[in-house]
Amino acid sequence: MVCYSLDSTHKATPITGIAGNPTSVALSADGREIAWTDYTRENNETDVVFGSLVGNRIVSTHRVLPGPSMQCRPCLDNISGVAWSGDHALMLSRQGQDDEGAGLGRLPLDARHIASGWRDGPRSMEAWKTDPAYKYFDYVGSANLHSALAVGRPSWNGPPPRGIRERAVLVDLATGRRVAILATALPGRDVTSVSGGAAGIVYRTEGNGPQARYYLRLPGDAAGKPITGLPSDTV
């Protein structure tokens, strides 16, 4: 894992103190805390790990297991996204192999919630309570104390209702409900990732065509504008 400087040097600095197989990574707004998901292939288990970032080293790490109610022989649920919600909580996208995962949840980083695990410890937020045709908020990429950016999607068990496609939404954390639709995709495509904040969002669409497409939407824009010049292996 490496950190990239945001100045003109774009310097890459390797981070030490990480064990396992880190996948999704989230950095807190002040740059002092870092979290990631750690995947174990042998039993399909995903853990959530977080700690303090001091220079280029991670210290005081803590591991959040799936939880006592979920047996990993193998695990049927995993984490598809992680983001910081303030300094003391994480937003987690919890997927199920059979599509009946726990969905989007906010996990306070205290002993009681950590002991409950990442499946049952978070407070869940369910897309269908706002939009009945949608099942989950998924792929969380950005959050703060009050809201989170996520992808609203229908169930993957069978074809989606006609005209229902995955889209980027803003979720209010106090109510757990969708309060804004931030981006939709062209016909035949879905929004599959979104991140950003008040200054603007970047989102990805996939579907018809061989490659993903990326868009930038700034405040005041009616729709996202295509981003060009990205490497072909951009994810």
Per-residue confidence in pLDDT tens, the chain, 235 aa: 776 666 666 667 778 777 777 888 999 988 899 999 998 888 888 899 999 988 888 888 999 998 887 767 777 788 889 999 999 999 999 988 766 778 899 999 999 999 999 988 999 998 988 899 998 999 998 999 999 999 999 988 878 788 899 999 999 999 999 999 999 999 999 999 999 999 999 999 999 877 899 999 999 999 999 999 888 777 7
Shortest CA distance to 155 belongs to which of 131, 189, 188, 120?
131
What pLDDT is recorded for position 45?
86
Q: Please say whether the beta carbons of 126 and 139 come within 8 A.
A: no
Q: Please list, in sequence order, all residues whose beta carbon lies within 8 angstroms of the beta carbon of residue 13, skipping any fewer than 6 positions away.
A: 2, 3, 4, 5, 56
Q: Please list, in sequence order, all residues whose beta carbon lies within 8 angstroms of the beta carbon of residue 148, skipping any fewer than 6 positions away.
A: 83, 85, 91, 104, 137, 140, 142, 170, 171, 173
What pLDDT is recorded for position 217?
97
Which pairing describes strands 147-153 and 136-143: parallel, antiparallel, or unpaired?
antiparallel
Question: Coil, strand or helix: which one is 24?
Answer: strand
What pLDDT is recorded for position 9?
61
Cα–Cα distance for residue pair 130/125, rounded to 1 Å: 10
156: burial class by Cβ within 10 Å (0-12, 13-18, 19+)?
middle
Shortest CA distance to 168 belongs to which of 202, 199, 145?
202
Q: Please say whether the beta carbons of 183 and 215 come within 8 A.
A: yes
Domain boundaries, the chain: 1-123, 126-235
What pLDDT is recorded for position 113?
94
What pLDDT is recorded for position 231?
80
Beta strands in the chain (DSSP E): 2-4, 12-14, 22-27, 33-40, 45-54, 57-64, 77-84, 89-96, 103-108, 123-125, 136-143, 147-153, 167-172, 177-183, 189-197, 200-207, 213-217, 225-226
What pLDDT is recorded for position 155?
85
